[in-house]
Amino acid sequence: MQLTVWTYEGPPHVGAMRVATGMRDLHYVLHAPQGDTYADLLFTMIERRDHRPPVTYTTFQARDLGKDTAELFKKAARDAYDRFQPQAMIVGSSCTAELIQDDPHGLSLTMGLDCPVIPLELPSYSRKENWGASETFYQIVRALADKERKPPPAVGENGPRRPRANLLGPTALGFRHRDDITEITRLLADLGIDVNLVAPMGASPADIVRIGEADFNICLYPEIAAQACSWLERTFRQKTVKTVPIGLNATREFVAEVCAVAGIPVPADLDQGRMGWWSRSIDSTYLTGKRVFIFGDATHAVAAARVASEELGFKVVGLGCYNREFARELRAAAEKYGVEPLISDDYLAVEEAIEAAAPELVLGTQMERHIAKRLRLPCAVISAPVHVQDFPARHSPQMGFEGANVLFDTWVHPLVMGLEEHLLTMFREDFEFSDAAGPSHLGHASSAPAAHGAPAAEQPAGDVATIAAPAPASDEGGWTAEALAELGKIPFFVRGKARRNTEKYAAEHGVITITRETLYEAKSHYAR
Amino acid sequence: MSEAGPIPGCDAPPVGVDGILRERGQREVFCGLTGIIWLHRKIQDAFFLVVGSRTCAHLLQSAAGVMVFAEPRFGTAIIEEKDLAGLADANEELDRVVNRLLARRPDIKLLFLVGSCPSEVIKLDLSRAAQRLNGRFSPNVRVLNYSGSGIETTFTQGEDACLSALVPDLAFTDEEQLMIVGSLPDIVEDQLTRLLGDLGIAKVVSLPARKAGQMPGVGPNTRYLLAQPFLAETGTALDKRGAVHLPALFPFGAEGTTAWLHAAAQAFGVPEARFEQVIAGPRERARKGLALYRENLAGKRIFFMPDSQLEVPLARFLAGELGMELVEVGTPYLHKGHLIDELAALPPGTMISEGQDVDKQLDRVRAARPDLTVCGLGLANPLEKEGLSTKWAIELVFSPIHGYEQAGDLAELFARPLHRRDLLRV
């Protein structure tokens, strides 16, 4: 058993729901107890969908268990088919139904429904949401793709035709999937490439049938589409574009890879957005070497690390992901930046790692946003799971050149503005500029001391003068008031580390009262 | 009012001899685990440990929203594949998880092991686990268990299961006292307790109390008022301890609150004159508060989808005090004993449904096109898109809505969606 308060991923059947809800004219019959319908509200509330997810639950109750839950399943499947008339159905079990071992596949076969029925085996006690989405999409493609379909001849009556691609991976409840599709479709159009199919998002089962008519596949979200892409590669000889176009350089590489696969030259006059110039402009100099901690799904985390280090000049001080299926990719990236990879779905481990790394910026999920708030660190969201505010009304892609513009704005915004930072350093002793007061654009709320563990909590907000003034020896862990005041002068993002190091040094060297001297002794000790 | 005759496109609803429609089919409801979200706020030193699957953990975080991060006092021991291999192993694992948890949270005085669908289906015996753990952690921590599984409980029934697990554990007292049963927001609990005190009832206690160590005693001289309509099992458990139920309307609106207080006043021999004197002021305030909304709500047609068992008393309040018309009052479960006064106070011929077949019920909503539909979050936005105004039901469980001072606020919850609909030009 694993003690959990927060889970980065839902159970695998929620992954299957994300595929089904993204698609059209597909229906999911889920053998599940009463209560599992809670998952509907993820789609209707967080993603603000205006239709119910196309999912019928059997919602069995305790009194049904002694009787025939299999009959209940058959009735639900029959009613769902009659009511919704889908082009295809997927059927499967949630965690509880997995235990009672009815066989949704066998049952639906005997019913003779007039549409393809695709069975899903989603092991709830060992796998999670992303895996469920990937497996569901793979099974749908495998079951429905017509192997006779081929791309039309390269040259027709009207001359050579444009290359065509499938965009694979976007689902319902995906982080910025909606806008990424728009952005990549536009980018491909600029390159002279048509989109044969976007799937699962927006596709019907009939669309999946003609998946073989594309020249190649673009695997936008490997977590969801890599498995299907590799099957398509084997079955249809379609090549897969594997570069994930998040960030300026990755998008350039993506364009190069797409053009190579499509057999067309890379256009010289492609609009590459503003991010490059924004980052080179002197206003951004203060971003150099900013310590950033990155956590999310592996794809977004690895992409973010590259943007952070190459395109914004940050220093990556931590890199991790919660989906172990892509641990290898993440480890490779972590090695590149010389950091220890963190592969964990335990948010407490992530919190510890962030505290230890003492970053100036955290890039992560909804969860890291809360951790950062607690530690009073600036933070931006780069990956699911996310809350309702990260399904924005405005166009807000992560991918492509416009995506790079969005990343620049989103990541730089939470940081203390450059000039403000200098003022904070120069006028540290001045109450109005004390860093305990926090960046002005984050409002006064940011000046409240965090619950615990926050470096700034050591120095009460707006109380700098008191600390700077001579005071009797503090009883705070043996620190003299003088030493505490000196500690207060250390930039807040390394202050926690300085405090820990000093206390460790004091403990190791039998120093009982920590003075200003001890602070600098420790500094020189650990500098070696 | 109730639909006359079958609705086009639906089978004729199977109305029973008592005039109540009972349906079986897909249910769009929360399971009882959801009760943890408000119960853990109420009992300040209790921890709720769900023994379940990743689905359970995901449900709690989806329902709790941002609350998940404020050092919550609930969590899930997620059953893994290796736990399913052998049950003995699962017990050892549970002990390990609880040890770790209690070591990390020494402030916890009451630990609930909460059963889920997976733990019930594999028949993991949580009551024995609770006994075993009690042996180890007593007297510092009391360990109790109840089931919040979806196969056994619907939404607010989770609170019923939790409180009924508390009852056998309450100390015996033969002191004469009045017990308010059902978790209420602190401010509401204080208001109602104050009013009952003003009536001259010497001792008023609440179940649950705000701290594990302060749970009230119970005995033959305890009379209890239910503050919530979903406490069937808790009522039975209290009856077994000799406590006496005071039947009443539930304290929603000016009339509901008056009737509820009156039941206590009569049982404790409070003179009518004194009763009138105590409640006259607050009742007048409540009526004034309601008058503001009556104009907007009178004559509007409302449809309740089943959710919390609050539907019948709320429908009674909306029809009786605000003049709304009831199209259908759906409830997940109807406890006729506790709701006897409520049912009698509904307009004659009101269509009541128990249970659900969600697609058929939605057909009825669409056919009736009510002015307002009270429903869950999975249905609200889709119905809004169809041009049907909705009031999402969970807010009625989380918001302070009981008593005189909240009567206006309660009406406002129903008036707001209609007001917004009239306001918007988008």
Q: Does B4 touch chain A (CB under 8 A)?
A: no
Q: Does A48 touch chain B (CB under 8 A)?
A: yes
Kindly determine whether residue B80 and residue A387, on different chains, have CB atoms separated by under 8 Å: no
Kindly determine whether residue B54 and residue A370, on different chains, have CB atoms separated by under 8 Å: no
Residue of chain A whose Cα is closest to the Cα of B377: A41
Residue A402 above 50 pLDDT?
yes
> Which of B151, B156, B359, B375 to substitute to test the interface with A, most A CBs within 10 Å?
B151
H or E element that contains B110: strand B110-115
Q: Does A346 touch chain B (CB under 8 A)?
A: no
Chain A residues 164-223 within an 8 A CB cutoff of chain B: none
How far is residue B304's CA from residue B375's CA, in Å, rounded to a whole number?
7
Provide the pLDDT for residue A263: 95
Asked whether the ipTM of the predicted complex exceeds the cut of 0.95, the reply is no
Q: Does B114 touch chain A (CB under 8 A)?
A: no
Residue A450 above 50 pLDDT?
no
Kindly determine whether residue B381 and residue A48, on different chains, have CB atoms separated by under 8 Å: yes
Q: Do A400 and A185 meet the contact criterion of CB atoms below 8 Å apart?
A: no
H or E element that contains B368: helix B358-368
Q: Do A130 and A223 meet the contact criterion of CB atoms below 8 Å apart?
A: yes
Q: Which of A48, A246, A45, A222 is nearest to A137 (CA)?
A: A222
The DSSP secondary structure of A200-223, one letter per residue, reads STT--HHHHHTGGGSSEEEES-HH
- Average pLDDT in the A284-297 region? 95
> Which of B58, B78, B83 to substitute to test the interface with A, most A CBs within 10 Å?
B58
Provide the edge-to-edge strand list for the sheet that holds A164-168: A194-199, A164-168, A216-219, A239-241
Provide the pLDDT for residue A157: 86
Looking up tokens 């009882």 gives B32
Q: CA separation (Å) from A454 to A77, A277, A450, B68, B210? A: 53, 35, 6, 19, 30
- Average pLDDT in the B98-113 region? 93
Q: Does B351 touch chain A (CB under 8 A)?
A: no
Distance of CA A18 to the CA centre of its chain: 15
Tally: H helices and E strands in chain B: 17, 14
Q: To the nearest 10°, the Cα dihedral for A312, A315, A318, A323?
A: 30
Provide the edge-to-edge strand list for the sheet that holds A291-296: A341-343, A315-321, A291-296, A361-364, A379-381
Work out the percent of chain A whose per-residue pLDDT is above 70. 88
Provide the pLDDT for residue A419: 59
H or E element that contains A259: helix A248-262
How far is residue A482's CA from residue A475's CA, in Å, rounded to a whole number?
12
Q: Which of B157, B163, B120, B124 is nearest to B144 (CA)?
A: B163
Write the CB contacts of B385 (distance below 8 Å, at least 6 apart in sequence): A50, A51
Looking up tokens 């309307």 gives B249
CA distance B88 to chain A (A): 13
Q: At what angle do helices B272-297 and B186-198 cross, to 10 degrees?
A: 140
Per DSSP, the three-state class of A365 is coil
H or E element that contains A30: strand A26-31
Q: Does B275 touch chain A (CB under 8 A)?
A: no
CA distance A414 to chain B (A): 20
Q: Annotated catalytic, A283?
A: yes
Question: For residue range A198-240, what is the model confidence (pLDDT) as tens digits?
Answer: 999 999 999 999 999 999 999 999 999 999 999 999 999 999 9
Per DSSP, the three-state class of A49 is coil
pLDDT band at A373 (very low <50, low <70, confident <90, very high): confident
Question: For residue range A100-138, what is the model confidence (pLDDT) as tens digits?
Answer: 888 898 898 889 899 999 999 999 999 999 999 999 999
Provide the pLDDT for residue A437: 58
State the burial class of residue A353 (Cβ atoms within 10 Å of its Cβ: 0-12, 13-18, 19+).
buried
CA distance B153 to chain A (A): 9
Name every chain A residue with its beta carbon within 8 A of the beta carbon of B87: none
Provide the pLDDT for residue B63: 82
Kindly determine whether residue A3 and residue B76, on different chains, have CB atoms separated by under 8 Å: yes
Q: CA separation (Å) from A239 to A6, A219, B61? A: 38, 10, 40
Question: What is residue A510's DSSP assignment?
Answer: T
Q: Which range among B57-66, B219-228, B302-311, B398-407 shows the weakest confidence by mean pLDDT?
A: B57-66
pLDDT band at A493 (very low <50, low <70, confident <90, very high): low
- Average pLDDT in the A478-495 region? 81
- Average pLDDT in the B368-391 region? 96
The number of beta carbons lying within 10 Å of the beta carbon of residue B276 is 12
Q: Does B124 touch chain A (CB under 8 A)?
A: no
Question: For residue range B141-179, what is the model confidence (pLDDT) as tens digits?
Answer: 999 999 999 999 999 999 999 999 999 999 999 999 999
Chain A to chain B Cβ contacts (< 8 Å)? 184
Q: Does A5 touch chain B (CB under 8 A)?
A: yes
How far is residue B255's CA from residue B260's CA, in Å, rounded to a whole number?
8
Q: Which of A328, A292, A330 is nearest to A310 (CA)?
A: A292
Q: Does A50 touch chain B (CB under 8 A)?
A: yes
Question: For residue range A408-445, what is the model confidence (pLDDT) as tens digits?
Answer: 999 999 886 655 665 666 666 555 555 555 555 555 44
DSSP percent split of chain A into helix, strand, coil, nearest 5: 50, 15, 35
Q: What HEC string does A368-389 produce?
A: HHHHHHHHCCCEEECCCCCCHH
Q: Which two tokens stand for residue B264?
A: 């206590």
The model carries a pTM of: 0.89
Kindly determine whether residue B59 and residue A33, on different chains, have CB atoms separated by under 8 Å: no
Work out the percent of chain B whose per-residue pLDDT is above 90. 86
Of A68, A79, A146, A283, the catalytic one is: A283
Residue B44 above 60 pLDDT?
yes
Q: Do A467 and A480 meet the contact criterion of CB atoms below 8 Å apart?
A: no
Kindly determine whether residue A11 and residue B53, on different chains, have CB atoms separated by under 8 Å: yes
- Average pLDDT in the B256-270 region? 98
pLDDT band at A375 (very low <50, low <70, confident <90, very high): confident
Question: What is residue A287's DSSP assignment?
Answer: G
Q: Does B308 touch chain A (CB under 8 A)?
A: no
Nearest-by-Cβ selection for B55 from A11, A51, A62: A11
Name every chain B residue with its beta carbon within 8 A of the beta carbon of A33: 31, 117, 149-151
H or E element that contains A197: strand A194-199
- Average pLDDT in the A8-12 region? 96
Arithmetic mean of pLDDT over chain A: 89
Question: For residue range A180-197, what is the model confidence (pLDDT) as tens digits?
Answer: 999 999 999 999 999 999
Question: What is residue A325's DSSP assignment?
Answer: G
Nearest-by-Cβ selection for A95 from B26, B118, B377: B118
Kindly determine whether residue A41 and residue B377, on different chains, have CB atoms separated by under 8 Å: yes
Q: Where are the beta strands (DSSP E) in B6-101?
A: 20-23, 46-52, 74-78
Chain A residues 421-460 within an 8 A CB cutoff of chain B: 451
Question: What is residue A406's DSSP assignment?
Answer: H
Q: Does B71 touch chain A (CB under 8 A)?
A: yes
Nearest-by-Cβ selection for A34 from B29, B68, B75: B29
- Average pLDDT in the B324-338 region? 96
Kindly determine whether residue A125 and residue B77, on different chains, have CB atoms separated by under 8 Å: no
Give the residue with greater pLDDT, B349 vs B4.
B349
Q: Do B53 and B119 meet the contact criterion of CB atoms below 8 Å apart?
A: no
